[in-house]
Structure 1
Amino acid sequence: MRMILFNTPRCPAAPRRHGRLRSLLLALGMATSTIGAAQSAPEAPTNPDLGPAFATRNAAYVPILLDEIPGWEHEDFEEVFASFNTNCRAMKRRSAWAPICAKLAKLPHNEATLRQFLHEEFFAYQMLTPTRSATGKLTGYFEPLISGSLTRQGAYRYPIYATPPDLLMVDSRTVAGQATRWLKRDDGRLVGAERGDAGAREYRIDLGGASPNPRDKRYRVRIDGNIVRAYYTRQQIDANALAAPVLAWVADPYKLYSMQIQGSGKIQLKDGGLIRLAYAEQNGQPFLPNATRGDADAMLLAIKARGLDQPLAVDIPGATRGVKRPGSDAAVDAEVARIVAALQGGGATSPSASSTSARIKPKPKGKRPPAQASTTAARVDASDVEAMIQLLLNAPVADTAYVAPAEEEVIAAATTPAATARPDRNDDAPAARMDMSDFEGKGGGKAAGHASGSGVAVPSTGILDPSYVFFRRIGDGPEGPIGALGVPLSAGRSMAVDPRATPLGAPVFIEGTRPGSSTPMRRLVFAQDTGGAIRGSVRGDFFWGFGDKAGKMALATNQPVRMWLLLPKAVAGSAAASGIKTRGEGGGLRDCAVPDEELCVEE
């Protein structure tokens, strides 16, 4: 079992006598078996400043003193106040958080007060992967700006859909393992029913290998006669259109796809004005971004999202950016090979072990994994990898000075590849240190009306990812877009996470490096969003804000990170005490660090 080495205490508030205690707790927390790690160490000495150790299927949580978190003593807590208050708009509705948020609202806004408040109300945990690694992956995202129209005209032929009325949700526990089931509609959901209940009908269940959403454990479905099926894929939506409201029309399907991956965006209207769109729903299909030659943004985000620029298990002579070294996991190798194969021929490969839900198994020590661990990895060709990397380096980003072009310009642009090189892509050298000037969150423009109705066939996009995101319109203003927590995101203080490992609403201290440099990037952020590619522990997607500068930073963010989770003391105690699942078959570790019927539903 690998021991994690931590920085030595830097603050007088972390006296040396706590060092042995903490080392003992760390050893106990990491040396226990998987099930045993879910419970606090029974014989360890107690310390009121340390929470109990615990674990879930997806992560392990090792208690640490707040003052021992690297960079904690340098954090600007006055700057954190606004983001913390925004976070409480949602979290104050939870019983464990209500008194904390009420206390926060009455605090004077100064450094010392908030620092003391966090010490009094929260336990800190270093997050580890299930294999007890302290290092994970940080990527970035932003709010893009694209050109559009409220009506379908000229080159503006691709719709931005609101949630279709025929998209329904059904709890996985209601239909799991059942060939038929009596169900009835209830406010956008299918719920279990009995024969004779008003509105009840017996349906055949045919979900075709679909998986429930990991956060709410619900399938996204449609009714086809008397059959409940998984909702339409992107290809089906493109081919047949939807009877759904259209919020706007755009000329570039790849920019729309990029906005779907980012989860929000602004539309600069052809006739003037600006509308802002936020994530509303998703079709329930897996996020599998197959690369196409004209889809540089999507390829970049696909590779960044899973950290796929990490070493391959096969040597590729001449490959750059670290992809030629051996030793990566087979599932990652397969994913790289799948994307390269799609790049070569524009076709899709089957979403198998390379899907976002694939579980990575630890590699045995000492021996290099054989090349045949991935049947497709051996077909990767160095020239194709290099071509893909070069295409990604020249991927376009949003421009804050963007003005909707004339219709003839849009028509011309729509016939050229989306991946046009930008010679100024890397002109902005990173600053010596990261401050809030790195983040852009200001928006402007007057909101306009929206288009409605659809059902009109649209040109094929050629985008192979089956996942599809639907939007809703929100008001524009200086605040960021609305995240999964239901509050506006703050540039530089918000992060998308896997809510199973990192509870939504929790403060998280991250330690990495600033994109493009070795300058430390250490700060307290809030877990306020989720994403289809954000899976696993020690995994974050950092929100950089709106516009060109934020886009450049987001596309450059792909680096190792360490994370420390802050939990209210009452929540931490409950999490450790209930580490072993009592619901479901077989027992074992639970799925969510903090089970919640809204933010993370337990299986």
Structure 2
Amino acid sequence: MKRKVVYIILATICIFSSALGFLPQRKFQAPSQNALVSVIPSIPYTKSSGHLPLIKAPLAKAMVNQKPAAPMVVNQLTLKQIPYYKLPGWQEADVKKSLSAFRKSCETFLKKDPDHPVGSKQINLKAEDWQPACKAALSMNNVYEEEARQFFEKWFYPIEFGKKKPSKGVFTGYYTPLVKGSLTRSKVYNTPIYGMPAKRSASYTREQIDKGVLNHKAPVIAWINSPVDRLFLEIEGAAVVRLKNGKDLYLSYAGENGAPYTSIGSVLIKKGIMNKDNASKTAIKHYLSNNPGKVNPILHQNKSFVFFQNLKKPAALGAQGMALTPGYSLAIDRQWIPLGAPLWLVTKVPVPNEPQKQFKRLMIAQDTGGAIRGLVRGDIYWGASEKAAYLGEHMKNQGRYWLLLPKHAIHKIQYNYFSPKIKQVIQAVKRWPSWIRHSIG
């Protein structure tokens, strides 16, 4: 008898909530059952079945949308949870090395306060959303391949995302280039590599910097022999500068002037000098070396300027402040993708004198770049070898990725996009006396 009374009360609340406009007035589909259950933990839920076991059908339908895995819209993104078997090549992939790369990001997450924001501009996440998975990852020792796969399947949901529909984008590669240089200026080495100035300003464009506006305002880490080489070091975000005595300086990205980035390749294409098919790094360098009088006018079209730091040890640091893993670290646009997030990537990579090779791998978003802009856009870090240089200079292919987000974070994101009045109803349910909640279960 008591249970029937509870059902009537709950049904009445849902009906009046709908009539009074308490239900969400958003244009996207309501979250799935799993989402609402996750924010009312007092109500029992069986994951294996995906149903509320003891709530009768009429009431359950009034409480949640019955459609499974309903997509949700978060700001400008449509997010849809998919099963792992729908990730192309997932079962054959080497995710053990991906786990090793992810553990490096975990060290960063675990150092932050739980409330520290670590999401993208479109997906709001905090350090606490990653910390449970990270603690589990760092507790694993001598991991086998299958254990690594099970770790990601246990802690993360694959998310298909895009603007209304899944999107494809361009994927390139970058590497740590080696250039000759000096600690002092000379006729040969006359192009400065700057450290961060005391006061960063977008008003200082590349042209103004080349004319000396940063003299005595920013430290010079080293001198190299070409502004063209410096531009490509900026694009790569890292470099090894070999001095005359054989010692190496290990440089990494430190920051930017904040001015807008313009691709030099696009400048040459607009001028009719090159086209989309042949505007490679090698072709650009060849053209500029044969036309020295055009170097500055062309380079100055890109007002963005990158500053470096001397690492004093052989490591390429990403935007999270940790060493990048060749072949597994991906530079992304953090407006869309949270740093540290795993991404299942499907694209192609170039092979010398052979057809391009399929590439399916779990990458970790650990870096950013001035040229990396867009919802689906990535730059794979390949390392510092000759093979890395080849991949970095020749890779430019279409592809797509799926975002892996912590399972409990997905539920929180869904909850955040309920209307305020629905949140009030949920919180009210959570405050009900225990005898009512227990009678439901």
Q: State the TM-score, normalizing by the size of structure 2.
A: 0.70
Q: Shift in Å at residue 40 of structure 1?
A: 2.1
The match for 2:31 among 28, 40, 60 is 40
Contact 2:170 2:396 in 1 (8 A): yes
Opposite residue 321 of structure 2, the aligned amino acid is: G
- Residue 512 (structure 1) shift: 1.4
In 1, Cα distance between equivalents of 2:393 and 2:418: 39
Correspondences of 1:70-469 after superposition (within 5 Å): 70-92=88-110, 93=112, 94-108=127-141, 109-128=143-162, 130-167=163-200, 221=201, 230-242=202-214, 243-289=217-263, 291=264, 299=265, 336=266, 338-341=267-270, 343=271, 384-385=273-274, 390=278, 392=280, 394-395=282-283, 417-418=288-289, 463-464=299-300, 465-469=302-306
CA deviation after TM superposition for structure 1 residue 134, in Å: 3.2
What is the deviation of 1:284? 0.5
- Match for residue 476 of structure 1? 313
Q: Is the aligned partner of 1:525 residue 2:363?
A: yes
What CA distance in whole angstroms lies between the structure 1 residues aligned with 2:419 and 2:183? 50
Of residues 59, 84, 97, the one that matches 2:77 is: 59
Residue 241 of structure 1: how far off its partner (Å): 3.4
Work out whether residues 148 and 269 of structure 1, in 8 Å CA contact, stay in contact via their aligned partners in 2: yes
Determine helix, strand or coil for the equivalent of 2:299.
Answer: coil
1:119 aligned counterpart, secondary structure: helix
**Distance in 1 of aligned mates of 2:91 and 2:35:** 27
For residues 62-117 of structure 1, the C-alpha deviation after alignment (integer angstroms, 9 at most, x for no partner) is 11112321111001233333212222121223222222222112224112222222
CA contact (8 A) 1:511 1:523 kept: yes
Aligned mates of 2:195, 2:29 — CA distance in 1: 42
Q: Is the 8 A contact 1:60 1:127 kept in 2?
A: yes
| 1:475 CA displacement | 2.7
Listed one character per residue, the Cα deviations across residues 139-177 of structure 1 (whole Å, up to 9, x for unaligned) are 11111111110011221111111111122xxxxxxxxxx
Q: Deviation per CA, 1:402-424, whole angstroms, max 9, x where unpaired?
A: xxxxxxxxxxx9xx95369xxxx
Q: How far apart in 1 are the matches of 2:225 and 2:418?
A: 51
Instruction: Please report how far the alpha carbon of residue 471 of structure 1 lies from its aligned counterpart in structure 2 after TM superposition.
Output: 0.7
- 1:486 paired residue number: 321
Q: Which residue of 2 aligns with 1:542?
A: 380
Unaligned 5+ residue runs, structure 1? Answer: 1-33, 168-220, 222-229, 292-298, 300-335, 344-380, 398-412, 421-458, 583-603
Deviations 1:195-234 (A, max 9, x none): xxxxxxxxxxxxxxxxxxxxxxxxxx3xxxxxxxx43111
* 1:508 corresponding residue in structure 2: 343
- Structure label with greater radius of gyration: 2
Q: Which runs of 5+ in 2 are unaligned?
A: 1-24, 38-46, 51-67, 113-126, 421-441
Q: Which has the higher helix share?
A: 2
Alignment root-mean-square deviation, CA: 3.2
SS in 1 for 2:403: strand
Cα contact 2:261–2:370 (8 A) shared by 1: yes
| Pair 1:266–1:66, CA change in 2 (3 A) | same
Contact 2:347 2:400 (8 Å CA) reproduced: yes
Distance change (3 Å), C-alpha of 1:45 and 1:78:
same
CA contact (8 A) 1:497 1:540 kept: yes
**TM-score, normalization by structure 1:** 0.52
Give the distance between the partners of 1:252 and 1:71, measured in 2 at CA: 43
Shift of residue 572, structure 1, vs aligned partner: 1.4
User: Does the 8 Å CA contact 1:51/1:569 hold for their aligned counterparts?
Assistant: no
Structure 1 residues 131 and 139, CA, compared in 2 at 3 Å: closer, same or farther? Answer: farther
The one-letter code matched in structure 1 to 2:357 is T
Give distance in 2, aligned partners of 1:38 and 1:579.
Answer: 11
Distance verdict in 2 for CA 1:41–1:569, change over 3 Å: closer
Could you give the per-residue CA deviations for residues 290-348 of structure 1, whole angstroms, max 9, x where no partner exists? x4xxxxxxx2xxxxxxxxxxxxxxxxxxxxxxxxxxxxxxxxxxxx5x5434x4xxxxx
Q: Which residue of 1 aligns with 2:44?
A: none
1:143 touches 1:545 (CA, 8 Å); kept in 2? yes
Q: Percent identity?
A: 30
Task: For residue 540 of structure 1, give the secondary structure of its aligned residue in structure 2.
Answer: strand
Cα separation, partners in 2 of 1:549 and 1:155, compared to 1, 3 Å? same
1:499 and 1:393 map into 2 onto residues whose CA distance is: 25
Distance, in Å, in 1 between the alignment partners of 2:325 and 2:29 is 33
Residue type of the partner of 2:135?
A
Q: How many angstroms apart in 2 are the aligned matches of 1:38 and 1:483?
A: 37
Distance 1:395 1:385, change over 3 A: closer
